[in-house]
Amino acid sequence: MELSSLLHDLQLSSSSSEKSRPSHPLPPITELLAQLQKLLIGAAGNPSESSTLIGQVQRLFQTADPDWLLSPLSDDEGTGWAELRSAYRSVISALIGCAALPLCEDDCSSLDAAAYQSVPSGAAAVCSALTALLGHWREGGGARRAETTGLVLAVAPPIYLFSVTHLQDQAWTSAASRKAARRLHEALLRAGGWRDSAHLLMGDEDAGDRGILGGVLDVLQPQLTKDSWRRCEAVKLVFAWTLLQVTRPFLSPFLPRLLPPSLLLNDHYRPENCMLGVRCLHHIVLNTPAADLRQFNRAEVLYQALFKHLYTSDAAIIQPVLSCLLDLLLVLEKPPSSSSSSSPRKPCRHDDVLRLVLTHMEAEHKVALRRVYASALPLYVERMGVAVCRHLRRVERVLLGYLEVRDPPEETSRLKMLEVLQRTTKWAWPRMACRVDVLLRCLLRLLVDVSSDSSLSDPVRQQLMDQSSASIRLLDACSQGRVQRLLLQVDHRCCSSQVLSCLATVTAER
């Protein structure tokens, strides 16, 4: 279709075009964009009308001369390019508005899939139109590369947010809209010369490239307030996706803007929002210098926000919380295991977390939670070092309780508790000699249990028996051979050949 016919179909005209010379029949792009914006805003409430209009806009961007699309109205280069950037930002915002997601009526409810029925097709059309525009900009940059780069930087934040909104597999996307969003995202990266999403957001400090994270947060932050973030389902996902792309040292300058929304998500009552918030907070902890986290008492705020989750019974939340706390505690205080032997090891937050975890483990009966606690405990025991002596009674009770209960098919809990026993014995060996009788009895019952359990696979059975033997050897070492003397009292008639073979490895090392 000829460009002039397309402009006629769009009913776009310009007073200046009537007075223009024959060699320049087209209206100035800035004036045309202003009229185009009005048409798009007027069609935003009508899906069929907006779909037709977006298709015409796409053909306009595909057909037009790239140099015309990048021609400022004013002779003053600075003023002209500023007007052009403003005009394109307005048109792109109007385009994106044609595929805007519906908002929830209140802060508590959520929309069903039917509410998003018309969104994927509109989003795919908008993505195609914006992809065509970015492709023409790249072709028409030429000698105006610096100005074109400034134009791309100016419109990149809303385009980035729109593409990321529709990249993910959600109720408001389809296979076609996700494919179109990926193409748009790739076109944006090509237009600005960015390598990937992280480079787009952070830029390149060595090369002096600017990222768009600040601009993205300028657009996103008004939607991330306490009263508004729950109105749109996509806002939290786009924020989290963006945050997880930003790493050291670029995250730290934006910490005051990234931390509050993460805490809002962390504090929400819905598990999926809470887990997303914990993930964001963990990323912040890992990618922010400790000094910046300690400034303004931020680390303490994070600790309190995470610690309260230890009282929940949701395994999906407990798991990331325990992992995040393990890294956050290094920011708040030195590991107990690194304390000098000459200085007293005072109780600290590590003790508070471990004490609460052990208390909950004693009474826990849910299999999923038992596995989460058991998987996290070895790391906390190792971090505590010799200071684990303060918790030996609780550790012993937990060990005895967990080693006696089967956990098929992988026996995750039992294997992790054997690891806990080995680490505890290595750190607190002077205090373990008095517990040898009880622990040895438990390990022998475990060996007999495992050897006669036909439901276990051979690799899992062998792993359990190997780890049990290693634990018995450590107990023997810390008790100066007392375990071997106790093993002489074992009635071999009651043990299988597998158990006797394991016990033989203990006595053989004598």
Residue 21 in any domain: the answer is yes
pLDDT at residue 416 above 60? yes
Torsions phi, psi of 225, nearest 5? -80, 170
Q: How far apart are CA 124 and CA 50, in angstroms?
A: 12
Query: Around 411, how many Cα atoms within 13 Å sit in the side-chain half-sphere?
Result: 26
Whether 403 is in a domain gets the answer: no
pLDDT computed for residue 423 by the predictor: 96
Supply the mean pLDDT for the chain. Answer: 87
302 with 285: CB under 8 angstroms?
Answer: yes
CA 454 to chain centre: 41
Number of other CB atoms surrounding residue 303 within 10 Å: 20
Q: According to the model, what pLDDT value does residue 143 have?
A: 55
Here the contacts of 311-318 (C-beta below 8 Å, separation 24 or greater) are 313/366, 313/369, 314/271, 315/366, 315/368, 315/369, 315/371, 315/372, 316/271, 316/275, 317/271, 317/274, 317/275, 317/278, 318/369, 318/372, 318/373
Query: pLDDT band at residue 52, thresholds of 50, 70 and 90?
Result: confident
Asked if residue 340 has pLDDT above 60, the reply is: no
Q: Which pLDDT score is estimated for 47?
A: 79
- pLDDT over threshold 90, residue 218: yes
How many percent of the chain have pLDDT more than 90?
59
Q: 105 or 349: whose pLDDT is higher?
A: 349
Asked whether residue 130 is assigned to any structural domain, the reply reads: yes
CA atoms of 285 and 302, how far apart (whole Å): 9
At residue 389, the pLDDT reads 93
pLDDT at position 45, please? 74
Q: Looking at per-residue confidence, does 16 or 481 come out higher?
A: 481
| More reliable by pLDDT, 16 or 108 | 108
Question: Is residue 94 domain-resident?
Answer: yes
Half-sphere exposure of residue 283: CA atoms within 13 angstroms, side-chain side: 23
d(CA 350, CA 357): 11
- Assign 266 to helix, strand or coil: helix
Task: Check whether 8 has a pLDDT greater than 70.
Answer: no
Residue 343 has pLDDT above 80, yes or no: no
- The pLDDT value recorded for residue 250 is 93
Across residues 395-424, what is the average pLDDT?
95
For residue 441, give both structure tokens: 């009895």
pLDDT tens per residue across span 163-185: 999 999 999 999 999 999 999 99
Q: Is residue 329 part of a domain?
A: no
Q: pLDDT at position 509, please?
A: 58
**pLDDT exceeds 90 at position 78:** no
What is the rounded CA–CA span in Å between residue 280 and residue 245? 11
Residue 458 or 26, more confident: 458
Asked if residue 53 is part of any domain, the answer here is: yes
pLDDT by residue (tens digit) across 11-27? 655 444 444 444 445 67
Q: The domain containing residue 22 runs over which residues?
A: 1-102+117-193
Q: Band of the pLDDT at 303, cuts 50, 70, 90?
A: very high
Q: What percent of the chain has pLDDT over 70?
A: 88
pLDDT at 116 over 60: yes
> Longest C-alpha distance within the chain, in Å?
111
Q: How many whole angstroms separate alpha carbon 384 and alpha carbon 370?
A: 21
Of 281 and 482, more confident: 281
Least confident stretch, 77-86, 119-128, 150-159, 474-483: 77-86
The pLDDT assigned to 167 comes to 94
Q: Is the pLDDT of residue 10 over 70?
A: no
How many domains are there within the chain?
1
Q: Across residues 117-129, what is the average pLDDT?
A: 93
Q: Please indicate, yes or no, if residue 177 is contained in any of the structural domains.
A: yes
